Chain A
Amino acid sequence: GQQVMQIPQYQHVQEGEDFTTYCNSSTTLSNIQWYKQRPGGHPVFLIQLVKSGEVKKQKRLTFQFGEAKKNSSLHITATQTTDVGTYFCAGPLWNGGSQGNLIFGKGTKLSVKP
């Protein structure tokens, strides 16, 4: 069945270092979304990418959608302790009619050492 995979599962960085998480889908996606879940919190929407090769930036965060629309990445420049959390990617799930649902990756848990 359709799968969305994220690597790495965990990443520990020193504050100020860069961080990247990668998302790969087994199928072509019409769009991809990224969410962040702080420790003890709930997932919060960050961004949606729709176009092939699209790149979007939010301050120190850079999001990319692959040319084939099957992979995506999130890059954080100069991490801060406020970046701590789990980052999930998600794409539309198509299972013979259940449109509107998302399939989530398992997430990358980022910890930042001050």
Chain B
Amino acid sequence: GAGVSQSPSNKVTEKGKDVELRCDPISGHTALYWYRQSLGQGLEFLIYFQGNSAPDKSGLPSDRFSAERTGGSVSTLTIQRTQQEDSAVYLCASSSPYGASGFRTADTQYFGPGTRLTVL
């Protein structure tokens, strides 16, 4: 596709409910990242997928958060038993695994528009 897409753009849920957020990365990008951004704050890293490697889950704030990536493309971030402090914008980004030099490097990340999650 032309860019990273995310759905839904907005999600309002009640405390205690589960939510699923979807990310469609740029075609051909094997790296996919999830971030959380609270109002006026920086980017909080959540999880990183790179090809078929085991994901880096070091940023997930609790075991209520999980993510999967099916077929090396679309990713779903699931938040179980949502809490009010989960309210934030959830951003997805993708990148190519190789920089312009051809060597594996931390390449440019292309961000989606985000999903704004509000937990009432």
Chain A residues at the B interface, C-beta cutoff of 8 Å: 30-31, 33, 35, 41-45, 48, 88, 90-93, 95, 98-107, 109
Contact = CB atoms under 8 A, between A and B. Distances in A.
Contacts of B58: 95, 98
Contacts of B91: 42-43
The interface residues of chain B, by DSSP majority, are classed as: loop
B106 A88 contact: no
Interface of B: 31, 33, 40-43, 45, 48, 50, 56, 58, 91, 93, 95, 97, 99, 104-114
A100 B53 CA distance: 12
Contact of B108 (A30, A33, A103, A106): A33
A95 B97 CA distance: 17
Contact of A101 (B40, B41, B45): B45
Given A42-B111, A45-B108, A100 B50 contact: yes
21 contacts: A33-B106, A35-B109, A42-B111, A42-B114, A44-B111, A45-B110, A48-B108, A88-B42, A88-B43, A92-B106, A95-B56, A98-B56, A98-B58, A99-B104, A99-B105, A100-B31, A100-B104, A100-B105, A102-B109, A104-B43, A109-B40
A43 B105 contact: no
A15 B100 CA distance: 36
Contacts of B50: 98-100
B113 A92 contact: no
Contacts of B110: 45
Contacts of B95: 100
Contact of A31 (B97, B104, B106): B106
A43 to B, nearest CB: 5
B63 to A, nearest CB: 20
